[in-house]
Chain A
């Protein structure tokens, strides 16, 4: 099994999980966490019964599993730079699948972050 398989799987599953979470939360509308215990319990209950949120967390969790497999196959210094992949993937998928508007400023920011992550990985 190539080392790329678990790394790519963890990125793809992680990004897919985030997309599902975003769709679920968009369907719920703007929620707030303040305002006492009963409201937090209510929030958790509505999250736990939201198909997209639960599915997103499950997909995200399986992504973590593949990340651990990748860590067991290669040193952290090798797998670390691939973290920047998910920032780019999130930008592409939010644009094409969620139809989010991504301006030049945000695009430049995301590319700058990828550069920074690569620098940290090289250190």
Chain B
């Protein structure tokens, strides 16, 4: 219980931990190290080890959420540059060509594809009901981006809602992540 309380105190710096994760993610160890009993993770004694274990476990999921947000922002920039899509002034092939050759769209799509890759890596390690709630962190990131990048005014209700979401995400993060799926363990199944 003490562990959990400490975790909640450390909790509000979700954005920071997300950034830390990028560093640690570049040195993700080969699966051979993690393979043995990787479905029984992060149940160590000390709080530090717990936090570290959870962050490592969640790294691909969090990277995916951050990358998809970055991709969305770049896609939005590209589509804003192109202006409203009108089917009356231009033909469909022309529209598709202008979208497909826009540098912002291309970069945004590539980043989005990488985020899907990380999502799949995340799904290979943790249960779906554990990973999926972290998608709601996009609301937090949208709030940050609209405040810092777009200079929008934030309503109290929206800030409150995002804080409630953060609390929920922390609860999920500290729930037991061991994968208890009966149908498969994936061993020996060649894709």
Contacts and interface: CB of A to CB of B under 8 A. Distances in A.
Interface of A: 18-19, 21-35, 40, 43-44, 46-47, 49-50, 53, 57, 86-87, 90-91, 94-95, 98-103, 105-106, 108-123
Interface in B161-191: 161-176, 178-187, 189, 191
A79 to B, nearest CB: 15
Given A99-B183, A100-B179, A120-B162, 9 more contacts: A30-B35, A32-B30, A35-B28, A35-B30, A47-B117, A109-B172, A112-B171, A117-B165, A120-B158
B26 interface: yes
Interface residues of B, number: 61
A30 B125 contact: yes
A28 B168 contact: no
Contacts, number: 194
A30 B120 contact: no
B123 A22 contact: yes
Given A33-B60, A34-B30, A120-B139, A28 B129 contact: no
B129 A100 contact: yes
A26 B168 contact: no
Nearest to B59: A33
- Considering residues B163, B173, B183, which has the most beta carbons from chain A within 10 angstroms of its beta carbon? B183
A118 B158 CA distance: 10
B129 A91 contact: yes
A27 B186 contact: yes
A113 B172 contact: yes
B165 A120 contact: yes
